[in-house]
Structure 1
Amino acid sequence: MQASEMDRRLQTVREIAVAAGAAALQYYDGKVEIEWKSAGNPVTAADHAANEIILAQLRRHFPGEAVLSEEAQDDMSRLGRELIWVVDPLDGTKEFIARNGEFSIMIGMVAAGRPALGVVYQPATTKVYFGAPGLGAWLATPGGMQTLRVSDRSDTTRWRMVASRSHFDPRVERVRQRLGIHEMRHSGSVGLKCGLIAAGECEVYIHPSSKVNMWDSCGPAAILTAAGGMMTDMRGEALSYSAVEVRHRQGLVATHGRLHDQVIAAIQSENVTTD
């Protein structure tokens, strides 16, 4: 795909994400009706409202292209397709319910089996992380635009790990100690965590869950890669976006790219497995 076409798509998806975020915010200050898709997996009217806007706009701007969304039935039309849109209309629903601002709209595009474009929009702050490998990565804020680039820290004792706001994981803690990392930050939303790494504010994020899905990783992976970082599963293998199964059964690891293999080795040394 030509750079000009990729840039057009990136700008269009930015606008779609912002529109979806505005729809979600209409439910932010009022009473939130919560449904439970499964244990620990809530969904709200805000998720559905954002999803409807994203799907309608993707179909309008990119007719005929396959879409996989967390809040829509997977009709398998994506299988065997060159381009696939992968959507999490509200990543961090628990944070949305808690009203701490750490939720995001995430839209990614897969091309030839790899994340090729990503947008992560945080409605509560109006920050937009966006990028495409080969094109670049940026953060738009009310104060202006900045280029995203991962940090250059190679000494793991100076690394900053970002972890879940809502859940302490002793497996991640063991890896942190093995790597000698002292500083921890906490955030909701996979996209916002990866945004911190892409912006050079953190170096590593480990998600040791078998329940992480394509829509959790696609957009953030594209942005992180464009900023110089790396995302794999906990074995160090590339995440799949072409399988029938939407889950990444071996979790995910996001880093600034330096010593990624050392992080994988630490995970294996601590015998960390997905739940």
Structure 2
Amino acid sequence: MNKDLLAEVAEIAADAGRFAIKLWNTDFRRWEKAPGNPVCAVDLEVDGMLRYRLGELLPDAGWLSEETIDSAARLDADRIWVVDPIDGTRDYLRGRPGWAVSIALVDKGRPVLGVLDAPAREEVWVAEAGNGAFRNGERLRVAARSELAGARVPADQLSKVDHDLVMVAKPNSIALRIAMVAAGEADLLATIRWGNEWDIAAAVLLAGEAGAAVSDAFGRPLAFNTPDAQAFGVLATAPGIHAAAVERLRERAEAAVGGR
């Protein structure tokens, strides 16, 4: 891939981040798309900005974003932008720093370029398939952990069955939580529910390029630009504990799928 493309996408993400942080903690419109699913006017403005700028960069690429009505036309595109204009909207609305602009370029179902711009944390995360992952220019490497007990998990609380895990600070942005695994600041990130591709596409590439094992909740490979743009869970771990994490989650994941 043209290395200039990653730099251009990072600059577009930085512009979006500057715009979002300028409006952060100001009086803007906010509402719920559905109960428990907040959105705000800044989400929509950033989405429009990104769609225009990224569309100019690669006119042939499809588009999938949390804040844009989906179109089946994207399924015919080899390359597609997968975007969450503000991942971690709850933290954005609460004045907390755990949010980021998330941009991924997916080629034939696989993320090949990813950027997270987290201006409130003064962090820029970038990854390119085959060329590693970086935060603020520093190469990332997943932690070397071989025992599930003691694994660090970004969480607000843990169930009794997970009492042997260790909670660490949890940003609202799932992309940033996955990125924590990439940076070796957490050992395990797991969700056991249906989730959207735009939440994870950029961060999954970051984690994989940093050496993490990444899958859905059952340990299966993740695919992107799928018809429903969803996957059942995401599991990003230090490679030495991935199999044990899959096994621990198995019953809960099967119960959750059965209850959909």
Q: Do the two structures share a fold, i.e. TM-score over 0.5?
A: yes
Describe the superposition over 1:105-133 as per-residue Cα deviations: whole angstroms up to 9, x where unpaired: 00011112112111111121220111023
1:25–1:46 CA contact under 8 A, matched in 2: no
Distance in 2 of aligned mates of 1:258 and 1:205: 14
Question: How many residues align structurally?
Answer: 257
Q: 2:134 aligns with which of 126, 134, 138?
A: 138
Q: C-alpha displacement at 1:261, in angstroms?
A: 1.4
2:72–2:227 CA contact under 8 A, matched in 1: yes
1:175–1:267 CA contact under 8 A, matched in 2: no
User: 1:37 — aligned with what?
Assistant: 33
2:148–2:244 CA contact under 8 A, matched in 1: no
Aligned to 1:54, what secondary structure does the other structure show? helix
User: 1:97 — aligned with what?
Assistant: 93
Q: C-alpha displacement at 1:174, in angstroms?
A: 4.5
User: 1:246 — aligned with what?
Assistant: 229
Distance 1:182 1:272, change over 3 A: farther
Larger deviation, residues 127-136 vs 182-191: 182-191
Distance in 2 of aligned mates of 1:196 and 1:174: 23
Q: C-alpha displacement at 1:231, in angstroms?
A: 2.1
1:213–1:246 CA contact under 8 A, matched in 2: yes
Identity of aligned residues (%): 28
Q: C-alpha displacement at 1:259, in angstroms?
A: 2.3
User: 1:265 — aligned with what?
Assistant: 247
RMSD of aligned residue pairs (Cα, Å): 1.7
**2:164 paired with 1:173:** no
Describe the superposition over 1:210-233 as per-residue Cα deviations: whole angstroms up to 9, x where unpaired: 2x1010110101111111112211
Q: Point out where structure 1 has 5 or more consecutive residues left out of the alignment.
A: none
Distance in 2 of aligned mates of 1:39 and 1:175: 29
Q: C-alpha displacement at 1:103, in angstroms?
A: 0.6
Q: 2:176 aligns with which of 164, 179, 192?
A: 192
User: 2:166 — aligned with what?
Assistant: 182
Aligned to 1:157, what secondary structure does the other structure show? coil
Q: C-alpha displacement at 1:256, in angstroms?
A: 2.2
1:27–1:45 CA contact under 8 A, matched in 2: no
User: 1:232 — aligned with what?
Assistant: 215
Q: Point out where structure 2 has 5 or more consecutive residues left out of the alignment.
A: none
1:221–1:230 CA contact under 8 A, matched in 2: no
Q: C-alpha displacement at 1:24, in angstroms?
A: 1.2
Q: C-alpha displacement at 1:151, in angstroms?
A: 0.7
Q: C-alpha displacement at 1:175, in angstroms?
A: 5.1
Aligned to 1:217, what secondary structure does the other structure show? helix
Distance in 1 of aligned mates of 2:67 and 2:213: 27
User: 1:61 — aligned with what?
Assistant: 57
Q: C-alpha displacement at 1:264, in angstroms?
A: 0.6
Distance 1:93 1:12, change over 3 A: same
User: 2:114 — aligned with what?
Assistant: 118
Aligned to 1:156, what secondary structure does the other structure show? coil
1:71–1:88 CA contact under 8 A, matched in 2: yes
Distance in 2 of aligned mates of 1:246 and 1:261: 25
Distance in 1 of aligned mates of 2:56 and 2:238: 35
**2:241 paired with 1:255:** no
Distance 1:152 1:20, change over 3 A: same
1:80–1:242 CA contact under 8 A, matched in 2: no
Q: C-alpha displacement at 1:269, in angstroms?
A: 4.4
Distance in 2 of aligned mates of 1:130 and 1:59: 20
2:152–2:168 CA contact under 8 A, matched in 1: yes
**2:80 paired with 1:84:** yes
Larger deviation, residues 25-34 vs 38-47: 25-34
User: 1:158 — aligned with what?
Assistant: 150
Describe the superposition over 1:77-126 as per-residue Cα deviations: whole angstroms up to 9, x where unpaired: 21032211100000011111110111110001111211211111112122
User: 1:215 — aligned with what?
Assistant: 198
